[in-house]
């Protein structure tokens, strides 16, 4: 029998890409009001600086916050800002970013499906992103929320899933993961031994590792029920 359902967050329970773009735009605007040359330099150099930063500091690959601060700080210095001030501005810029990043655009069915699933299953979230469940109306439904920045690694590392299974004392074959990404959600969850549901948005191909595929988040509840029936047969 299934006892645990885990969820990806960005592009599953809430929109991700559009929110990030808005947050980054507002962050750039804020910094540019203080350092007018920043915007153009950021647009020109951000991709290269990010690659260089990760090459020099590979251990921060899992933490988008640290990466973002490092990139902003480096570009500010390229604009002639002294290192100490660049560090302070980059940290403040991250606060501006998160002010907008946490204005979440929930999937319209998110609350309803979590409310229904919570009646019969433990729920947890597993995310590489920086938005936080406790800042959303979804917080009361989750037993546990795991973030890459706190784990020191990121999906598709199986450790992200194994810590949830351990915390909830759940066997892999008693758990389902719901997400949109073929590798970071579905392939790794299947490798851990969990059942999987792909929320298909069209952004990625259908995954061969999905036990069920849904086009509407509202259909997750019936997909979980179907897998629960299958799991009951397999475990007898």
- The pLDDT tens digits of the residues spanning 64-116 come to 899 999 999 999 999 999 999 999 999 999 999 988 888 888 888 999 999 99
**Range scoring the smallest mean pLDDT among 28-32, 34-38, 52-56, 128-132:** 128-132
Task: Return the structure tokens found at 59.
Answer: 């251990």
Give the chain's domains with CATH numbers: 4-15+105-234 (3.40.50.1000), 17-101 (1.20.120.1600)
Count CA within 13 A, CB hemisphere, residue 109: 14
Q: Which of 186, 194, 197 is nearest to 234 (CA)?
A: 194
CA distance 7 to 224: 12
Q: What's the whole-number average pLDDT of the chain?
A: 93
CA distance 229 to 177: 16
- Beta strand 175-179 with 144-147 is unpaired
DSSP structural state of residue 34 = H
Task: Return the structure tokens found at 170.
Answer: 């759940």
Distances 222 to 166, 204, 212 between C-alpha atoms, Å: 26, 22, 10
* pTM for this prediction: 0.84
Give the rounded percent of residues in the chain with a pLDDT score beyond 70: 99
Distances 22 to 17, 96, 185 between C-alpha atoms, Å: 9, 11, 25
pLDDT beyond 80 at 132: no
pLDDT of residue 46: 95
Confidence of residue 62 (pLDDT cuts 50, 70, 90): confident
- Mean predicted confidence (pLDDT) in 49-57: 95
Task: Return the structure tokens found at 85.
Answer: 């001030």
Task: Return the structure tokens found at 31.
Answer: 């910094």
CA distance 113 to 99: 27
pLDDT of residue 236: 66
Residue 12 Cα to chain centre, angstroms: 9
pLDDT beyond 90 at 11: no
Residue 44 Cα to chain centre, angstroms: 27
Q: Which of 180, 155, 151 is nearest to 15 (CA)?
A: 180
Count CA within 13 A, CB hemisphere, residue 29: 9
Name the one residue in this structure whose structure tokens are 């595929």. Answer: 213
- Mean predicted confidence (pLDDT) in 131-136: 78
């Amino acid at each position: 029998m299934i006892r645990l359902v885990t969820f990806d967050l960005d592009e599953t329970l809430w929109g991700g890409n559009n929110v990030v773009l808005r947050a980054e735009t507002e962050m750039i605007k804020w910094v540019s009001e203080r350092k007018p040359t920043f915007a153009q330099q950021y647009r020109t150099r951000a991709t290269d600086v990010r690659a260089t930063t990760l090459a020099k500091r590979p251990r921060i690959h899992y933490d988008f916050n640290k990466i973002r601060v490092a990139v902003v700080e480096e570009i500010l210095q390229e604009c002639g800002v002294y290192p100490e001030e660049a560090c302070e501005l980059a940290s403040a810029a991250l606060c501006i970013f998160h002010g907008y990043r946490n204005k979440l655009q929930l999937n319209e069915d998110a609350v309803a499906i979590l409310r229904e699933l919570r009646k019969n299953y433990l729920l947890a979230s597993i995310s590489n992103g920086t938005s936080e469940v406790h800042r959303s109306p979804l917080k009361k439904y989750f037993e546990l929320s795991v973030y890459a920045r706190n784990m020191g690694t990121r999906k598709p590392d199986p450790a992200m899933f194994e810590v949830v299974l351990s915390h909830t004392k759940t066997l892999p074959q008693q758990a389902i993961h719901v997400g949109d990404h073929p590798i970071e959600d579905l392939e790794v969850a299947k490798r851990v031994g969990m059942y999987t549901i792909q929320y298909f948005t069209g952004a990625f191909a259908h995954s061969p590792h999905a036990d069920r595929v849904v086009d509407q988040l509202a259909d997750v509840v019936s997909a979980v029920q179907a897998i629960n029936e299958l799991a009951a047969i397999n475990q007898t």
